[in-house]
């Protein structure tokens, strides 16, 4: 089958377009013919080797974390899916590879595609949708009447998280450029801070939750926006000891991650704030709940551009500019 392959880790390195064997189907897998695949900054970071310590993929391997397509075969223990079903998924770590014509996905990671959106739109959802859900619903426990600051509101996670937070009844502030202010307001943002001309840490205070996806400087400044007892949740690092334990990392890596996050954890403790790192996980049941929110119109996908599959390297280069509004996808069908 045709696929885009990482032959070696290299910063901004091009993926090789070539042939790979069709994936083997395990008893609890569904084989999905890929119609569209979403691109994420995570793909760039894996390609660049930034996650080699915690996601040790051995080249050559197929990249890609988001898929929408049609089930063509199922394993002997599969009960919820059948050939012909239109599905979408974020395959679990260790079994990625959506930049290909086919992918085998554990049934537990798959959900039926929302009926009211296209394959391209569906492929844009799983990773960012699950990230936003696990930050706001699972980890933050965001409730009606609370205030949340979502950084980078025009990005993939931001555009989804704003809509989810409004659905949960929160007041939503976000950082975005002036050019994207109208878009994030339309998605539900109540307060928009132009990060180029204003300082969010001087204008916002008393917030219950901050979702950070930006750099270490922004992470530290976010402490000033939170009330004592508030929650600072970062999806861009640094990883904390709880994450290291959950990943089952060895003692040396646990120590490394503890040291990496020591500074922000110390400052958060002084501010009376809870700091945690979230690395999203595959979860078909949660994705099924997201399906319902899309089908009832609560959340809509935001797709910046769709590239032909053959132009995947160009699509990754566009992702790397940081200018995409919402998500970028590639289409195979």
Write the DSSP string, 263-306: HHHHHHHHHT-EEEE------HHHHHHHHHHHHTTS----EEEE
* Spatial distance between the Cα atoms of 314 and 328, rounded to a whole number of angstroms: 11
pLDDT surpasses 90 at 68: yes
Q: Are 110 and 282 in contact (CB under 8 A)?
A: no
Exposed, middle or buried, 240 (CB in 10 Å: 0-12/13-18/19+)?
buried
Q: How many domains does the chain have?
A: 2
Q: For the chain, what is the radius of gyration of the CA atoms?
A: 19
Interval 45-65 mean pLDDT: 93
106 and 121 co-located in one domain: yes
**Facing residues of 207 across strands?**
226
268 and 324 co-located in one domain: no
Q: Is residue 296 part of a domain?
A: no
Q: Is residue 282 part of a domain?
A: no
pLDDT surpasses 90 at 54: no
7 and 103 co-located in one domain: yes
The closest of 276, 237, 298 to 140, measured between CA atoms, is 276
82 and 183 co-located in one domain: no
Q: Is residue 229 part of a domain?
A: yes
Residue 226's CATH number: 3.40.50.720
Q: Is residue 49 part of a domain?
A: yes
* Spatial distance between the Cα atoms of 29 and 317, rounded to a whole number of angstroms: 32
116 and 131 co-located in one domain: no
Domain range for 90 is 2-125+301-331
Q: Is residue 283 part of a domain?
A: no
Q: Are 157 and 151 in contact (CB under 8 A)?
A: no
241 and 263 co-located in one domain: yes
Q: Is residue 293 part of a domain?
A: no
Dump pLDDT digits (tens) for 207-254: 999 999 999 999 999 999 999 999 999 999 899 888 888 888 889 889
* Spatial distance between the Cα atoms of 307 and 316, rounded to a whole number of angstroms: 10
64 and 154 co-located in one domain: no
Q: Are 173 and 184 in contact (CB under 8 A)?
A: no
The closest of 217, 265, 222 to 242, measured between CA atoms, is 265
236 and 316 co-located in one domain: no
The closest of 238, 237, 313 to 39, measured between CA atoms, is 313
Interval 77-91 mean pLDDT: 97
* Dihedral angle over CA of 41, 43, 46, 49, nearest 10: -70
The closest of 92, 114, 87, 86 to 26, measured between CA atoms, is 92
139's CB contacts (< 8 A; 6+ apart) are 231, 233, 276, 278
Residue that has been written with the tokens 């050939």 in this structure: 83
88 and 147 co-located in one domain: no
145 and 252 co-located in one domain: yes
23 and 159 co-located in one domain: no
In the chain the first and final C-alpha atoms are separated, in Å, by: 14
Q: How many CB atoms lie within 10 A of CB 285?
A: 9
* Spatial distance between the Cα atoms of 157 and 317, rounded to a whole number of angstroms: 19
Dump pLDDT digits (tens) for 4-22: 999 999 999 999 999 999 9
Across 62-83, b (16+ Cβ under 10 Å) vs e yields bbbbbbbbbbeebbeebeebee
Q: Is residue 163 part of a domain?
A: yes
Q: Is residue 292 part of a domain?
A: no
Dump pLDDT digits (tens) for 284-327: 999 999 999 999 999 999 999 999 999 999 999 999 998 899 99
Q: What is the pLDDT of residue 6?
A: 98
The closest of 31, 38, 28 to 68, measured between CA atoms, is 38
Q: What is the pLDDT of residue 56?
A: 86
103 and 188 co-located in one domain: no
Q: What is the pLDDT of residue 208?
A: 98
Residue 91's CATH number: 3.90.180.10
């Amino acid at each position: 089958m045709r696929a885009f392959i990482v032959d070696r880790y290299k910063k901004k390195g091009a993926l090789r377009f070539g042939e790979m064997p069709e994936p083997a189907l395990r008893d609890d897998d569904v084989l999905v013919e890929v119609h569209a695949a979403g691109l994420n900054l995570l793909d760039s970071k894996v390609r660049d080797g930034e996650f080699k310590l915690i996601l040790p993929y051995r080249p050559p391997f197929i990249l890609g974390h988001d898929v929408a397509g049609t089930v063509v075969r199922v394993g002997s223990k599969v009960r919820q899916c059948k050939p012909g079903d239109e599905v979408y998924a974020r395959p679990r770590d260790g079994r990625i590879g959506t930049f290909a014509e086919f992918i085998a996905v554990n049934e537990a990671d798959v959900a039926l595609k929302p009926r009211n959106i296209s394959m391209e739109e569906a492929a844009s959802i799983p990773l960012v949708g699950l990230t936003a859900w696990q930050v706001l619903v699972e980890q933050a426990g965001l409730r009606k009447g609370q205030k949340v600051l979502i950084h980078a509101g025009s990005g993939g996670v931001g555009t989804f998280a704003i809509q989810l937070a409004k659905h949960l009844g929160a007041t939503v502030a976000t950082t975005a450029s002036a050019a994207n202010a109208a878009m994030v307001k339309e998605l539900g943002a109540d307060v928009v801070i132009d990060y180029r001309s204003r300082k969010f840490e001087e204008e916002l205070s008393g917030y219950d939750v901050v979702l950070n996806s930006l750099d270490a400087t922004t992470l530290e400044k976010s402490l000033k926006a939170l009330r004592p007892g508030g929650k600072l949740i970062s999806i861009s690092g640094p990883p904390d000891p709880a994450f290291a334990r959950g990943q089952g990392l060895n003692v040396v890596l646990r120590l490394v991650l503890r040291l990496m996050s020591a500074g922000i954890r110390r400052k958060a403790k002084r501010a009376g704030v809870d700091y945690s790192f979230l690395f999203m996980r595959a979860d078909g049941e949660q994705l099924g709940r997201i399906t319902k929110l899309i089908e009832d119109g609560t959340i809509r996908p935001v797709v910046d551009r769709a590239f032909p599959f053959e132009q995947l390297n160009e699509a990754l280069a566009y992702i790397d500019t940081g200018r995409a509004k919402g998500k970028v996808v590639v289409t195979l069908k």
